């Protein structure tokens, strides 16, 4: 193996380790993709996770400067075809191979910048714009990998992919409600108004998420065969989270982060495998 090829492979392995470290559930789903798709999706995840860590976690550092450098280093990597930042190196390889539109990356970075200066989203249009950049475009990046140059399939599946990204993001907002409101002092749901969160508000948000899931589900069956199962596994996992959140009192959501047990994850995985085996996706 030529040294440059080895460097490329190492960069993808680093992206895989980052993904596995931050999300075992997502990693399980990705493991059901073929090897080339796995590498691409891991590189996308590690890129967005790195930016997210900058704005959410690096509290003792100048986050704006770090994000500016992260963006500048990415475009240098894209221009030169190489980076000493292994995350950016693997991501730029994926961007070039699958021709991921720059608009998606710019929208993502724009939403990350919003987290540096904006704490409250008081209207649907504001939060829709934020979610488009922070989640919908990530779904579209993954879709570019799944469709691999098939522009007509990509265009036909854009809406369901965005709806799935929106649903995942809103579920994450509900799971992280305590940390977002107390530690990061952010309020993503316009329904919360002055900060109040009760069962009525929670149920309104759940209804909205369920609509997103319904719209997204139709797109999964139309994905290429080698991508369907992995997306279905992630879909089932988040559906289960929504169900648990639905039957958890709003007051408890403010003190507890809802999760799915390892046993339940295995049950959901088995369900997805059976449906795939029967050709029912």
- Can you give the residue ranges of every domain in the chain? 1-98, 102-281
Task: For residue 184, name the pLDDT band (cuts at 50, 70, 90).
Answer: confident
pLDDT band for position 104 (cuts 50, 70, 90): very high
d(CA 157, CA 219): 6
pTM (two decimals): 0.94
Cβ pair 216, 160 in contact under 8 A: yes
Fold agreement between 1-98 and 102-281 = yes
pLDDT confidence band for 116 (50 / 70 / 90): very high
Q: Which two tokens stand for residue 193?
A: 């108004």
State yes or no: pLDDT of 183 exceeds 90: no
In terms of Cα–Cα distance, which of 133, 135, 142 is closest to 44?
142
Six token digits for residue 36: 């080339």
How many angstroms separate the CA atoms of 66 and 116, rounded? 11
Contact status, residue 265 vs residue 25, Cβ threshold 8 Å: yes
Q: Tens digits of per-residue pLDDT, 207-224? A: 999 999 999 999 999 999
Helix axes 199-220, 225-246, angle to 10 degrees: 170
Q: Higher pLDDT residue, 277 or 250?
A: 250
Per-residue pLDDT of 39-76, as tens digits, reads: 999 999 999 999 999 999 998 999 999 999 999 999 99
How many whole angstroms separate alpha carbon 164 and alpha carbon 184? 25
* Lowest mean pLDDT segment, chosen from 21-30, 94-103, 123-132, 184-193: 184-193
Residue environment code for 119-144, b if the CB has 16+ CB neighbours within 10 A, otherwise e? ebbeeeeebebbbbbbbbbbbbbbbb
Q: Is the pLDDT of residue 232 over 60?
A: yes
Place of tokens 């992206």: 15
Q: Decide if pLDDT at 264 tops 80.
A: yes
The pLDDT tens digits for 198-210 are 999 999 999 999 9
Average pLDDT of the chain is: 94
CATH topology of domain 1-98: Farnesyl Diphosphate Synthase (1.10.600)
d(C-alpha 165, C-alpha 123), whole Å: 19
CATH number assigned to the domain covering 102-281: 1.10.600.10
Tell me: pLDDT of 266 over 70: yes
Cβ atoms within 10 Å of 237's Cβ, excluding its own: 21
């Amino acid at each position: 193996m030529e040294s440059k090829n080895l460097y490329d492979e190492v960069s993808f392995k680093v992206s895989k380790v980052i993904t596995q470290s931050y999300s075992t559930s997502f990693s399980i789903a990705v493991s059901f993709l073929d090897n080339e798709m796995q590498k691409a999706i891991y590189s996308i995840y590690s890129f967005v996770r790195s930016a997210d860590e900058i704005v959410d976690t690096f509290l003792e550092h100048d986050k704006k400067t770090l994000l500016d450098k992260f963006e500048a280093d990415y475009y240098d990597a894209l221009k030169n075809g190489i980076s000493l930042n292994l995350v950016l190196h693997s991501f730029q390889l994926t961007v070039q191979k699958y021709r991921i539109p720059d608009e998606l990356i710019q929208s993502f970075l724009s939403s990350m910048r919003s987290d540096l200066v904006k704490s409250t989203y008081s209207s649907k249009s504001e939060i829709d714009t934020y979610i488009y950049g922070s989640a919908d475009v990530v779904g579209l990046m993954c879709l570019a990998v799944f469709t691999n140059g098939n522009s007509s399939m990509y265009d036909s599946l854009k809406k369901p992919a965005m709806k799935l990204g929106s649903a995942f993001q809103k579920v994450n907002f509900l799971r992280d409600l305590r940390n977002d409101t107390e530690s990061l002092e952010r309020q993503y749901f316009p329904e919360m108004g002055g900060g109040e969160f009760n069962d009525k508000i929670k149920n309104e948000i759940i209804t909205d998420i369920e609509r997103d899931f319904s719209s997204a589900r139709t797109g999964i069956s139309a994905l290429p065969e080698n991508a369907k199962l992995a997306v279905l596994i992630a879909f089932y996992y988040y559906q289960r989270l929504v169900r648990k959140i639905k039957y958890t009192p709003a007051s408890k959501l403010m003190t507890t982060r809802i999760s799915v047990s390892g046993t339940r994850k295995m049950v959901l995985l088995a369900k997805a495998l059976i449906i795939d085996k029967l050709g029912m996706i």
